[in-house]
Chains A and B, each alone.
Chain A
Amino acid sequence: MAHFSRKKWRTLENTAKIFPATSGKKDERVFRLSCQLTEEIDQVKLQKALDLCMEDYSLFLCVLRCGIFWNYLEESELKPVVREEYRPPCSQIYVRDQKNLLFEVTYYKKRINFETYHALTDGTGALQFLRTLVYYYLMEAYPDMVTGPVSQVQADATDEEMAEDSFDKYYSDKALVKDIPKYKSHQLKYHRLEYGQMRLVEGIVPTDALIRAARSFQTTITVYLTAVFLCAVAMDMSPRQKKRPVALMIPVNLRSYFPSSSVRNFFGWIDIGYNFSEQSEKLEDVIAFTSDFFKRELTPERIAARMNGFMRMEKNPFMRILPLPLKLWGMQAGAAFSTSADTAVFSNIGKIQMPRECEPYIDWFDFYTSTPKMELCMCSWKDRLTVSFTSGYANTRIERNFFRMLTGQGIPVEIIALGGEKGGD
């Protein structure tokens, strides 16, 4: 397998291969992780921090190129430049034929944004990068208080381990895929926003209030929010639409199951489907189902079975010898046919931790992605948990249902919204 350090280029990992095929105006396959600090950002200091950060993450300095059979990432001499935020979140980053870096660091007022094309890294890799960047920035901005060492926020891994293709490492063709649930799910049929536009509705909630609400149902925040999301979609469905299940795609960080320090893509996903015409519509029953489903599916064996399923496709010799343009069309067609598998996506990168000395300077973290349908992303930092909806739809009924269910439980919600309001923002 290609090792970046020696060869100066590397192949795309398994799940990353789909991104060049399916990214376009409808879905740029870009996600943003950002950190809201308590004071205004200083561009010069941020640039310094970024330069330091690039020494630790030199494998992010690459461009995406086309080969005859596959795309690949090639090391580049380009250096990232910090800019003030200048275009809508999750705008296009990968431009065909243009050799530019696949990530961008911008800032606006008190916020540092890290946006990346998904073929470069996944949420975990991006988060590790952002934590390092924020730490370097705080060291620049508050040298007396934040003194390092920066290794506190970095994984204990060599450059080679960080650049490892963990799919390749853990692939085995032994475990056969069996009874992986598949759905023909309900599709949201709302009017769309203008082509290429995205709406963001973000809620900041106190983590402990949410924990209390989840505990009152004897469950975890993840299960609770998944169930609330399922119900929020269902509340707006007609009895006829309810004949189809609501299905959520839930990305899974494979590093939790297969030890890896890679900062490249290493994620899989599970699909959870709930049929509101056959099953109970009560929140506690949806929670019970979700909780059982997670317990059953989130085991190393089941996750491995799914992962090997994705890998088998890539290892298929017929698939491999197709020239790249045919492969891209094939993947586009495959993606178009399988769109009905999910209604929406729920992505959770969990609890973010930073060294204690950084705490006074950080307000919250947030995370969201571009999407052609609807995606809910969540992360938490100390007592502030952000749930961010992005969607390409003109109305906000699901977002409204979701947040009203939270406020109905007595959880205070603070909303940040972008897009869709005529003349407003």
Chain B
Amino acid sequence: MQYCKRCKITVRNPHRKCPLCQGNLEGIPEEENQMFPDFTRENSRMAMGFRIFSFVCIAVCVAAVSVNWTMGFHSFWSGYVLAGVGCMWILSAVAIVKRRNLFKNAVWEAVLLWAVFLFWDFITGWRGWSVDFGIPIVLLAVYVILWVVVFVTRAPVSHYMIYMVIVSVGSLIPLILLLCGAVGVRLPSVLCVAGAVLMLSALAIFKGRALGEELRKKTHL
């Protein structure tokens, strides 16, 4: 064991300097007294990948604006590039941050996609495709994704129940849009509302107790 004369302490695990005063130690370090494994850390690949992706996004924006500027801003097409890259970056960032819970991830992405579709419909001269197709198709896709994840991962009821409820309640929006007459092409929205009614009744009939339990858990004061 090693000894520090100044602190009058013995040091059990091998050190070059006294851990208290950084002075020199007497005696020989004994490797068998190593108390901890080597903790040299690996940098997360995910974090590095995302940094590269973020940088590429910025580079694309800079390149687009530069070219647009060089050619003179007759039409501001680089604005669309900025908006596109921005949307893509946000969607990917949320997908990464929420990667540990696929259900939560799907719900977040759905809400963001609604915003993205409405935004693009708006900046490309409002033709209503986001309301007719965008919103209901995203919801329908989420139904399918949630059920596929449930069956593939064999997740227990308590893991997915609340997200099914959230998505079903989200279908109130196409319903309201339908009732207000804001929808031009009805089929996707009607499918979506029908799907929500089916899903909620299936949950209530087959998993009624779990549904009640889940709601109590999530809302306990």
Residues of A that sit less than 8 Å from B by CB? 2, 7, 9, 11, 67-70, 72, 74, 77, 84-89, 95-99, 108-109, 111, 201, 203-204, 320-321, 396, 399-400, 403-404, 407-408, 412-418, 420-421, 423-425
Contacts and interface: CB of A to CB of B under 8 A. Distances in A.
A320 B8 CA distance: 54
Given A77-B156, A320-B221, A415-B11, A396 B20 contact: yes
B72 interface: no
A67 B104 CA distance: 13
A69 B151 CA distance: 30
Contacts, number: 109
B180 interface: no
Contact of B10 (A77, A99, A414, A425): A414
B36 A418 contact: yes
Contacts of B100: 95-98
A57 to B, nearest CB: 21
B74 interface: no
Interface stretch (B80-88, B113-121, B134-142, B212-220): B212-220
A206 to B, nearest CB: 12
Contacts of A423: 16
B187 interface: no
A74 B217 contact: yes
A414 B10 CA distance: 5
Contact of B19 (A86, A97, A396, A412): A396
Contacts of A97: 98, 100-101, 104
Contacts of B12: 204, 414-416
A108 B35 CA distance: 8
Contact of A321 (B13, B104, B221): B221
Nearest to B99: A97
A323 B120 CA distance: 32
B183 to A, nearest CB: 31
Nearest to B219: A68
Contact of B37 (A108, A201, A420): A108
B20 A403 contact: yes
A9 B13 CA distance: 43
Contact of A421 (B17, B158, B221): B17
18 contacts: A11-B220, A67-B217, A72-B217, A77-B156, A87-B39, A95-B100, A97-B100, A97-B104, A204-B12, A396-B19, A400-B7, A403-B20, A407-B8, A414-B9, A416-B11, A416-B12, A417-B19, A420-B19
Given A108-B37, A424-B15, 15 more contacts: A67-B220, A108-B36, A201-B20, A396-B22, A399-B19, A400-B21, A407-B7, A413-B8, A413-B9, A414-B9, A414-B12, A415-B20, A418-B35, A420-B19, A425-B36
- Chain B interface category by residue count: 20 to 34
B19 A421 contact: yes
A67 B158 contact: no
Contact of B219 (A69, A84, A88, A111): A69
B28 to A, nearest CB: 15
A97 B98 CA distance: 7
B170 interface: no
A201 to B, nearest CB: 6
Contact of A201 (B19, B36, B213): B19
A95 B19 CA distance: 32
A85 B9 contact: no
B159 A99 contact: yes
Contacts of B16: 421, 423-424
B220 to A, nearest CB: 6
B220 A69 contact: yes
B108 to A, nearest CB: 10
Interface string B121-158: 00000000000000000000000000000000000101
A416 B13 contact: yes
Contacts of A67: 217-220
Nearest to B159: A99
A415 B218 contact: no
Contacts of A404: 7-8, 20
Contact of A399 (B11, B20, B213, B219): B20
B14 interface: yes
A88 B10 contact: no
A403 B104 contact: no
A90 B219 CA distance: 32
Contacts of B218: 67-68
Contacts of B19: 201, 396, 399, 415, 417, 420-421
A99 B9 CA distance: 44
Contacts of B101: 97-99
Contact of B217 (A9, A99, A396): A9
Contacts of A9: 217
B37 A72 contact: no
A96 B29 CA distance: 41
Contacts of B7: 400, 403-404, 407
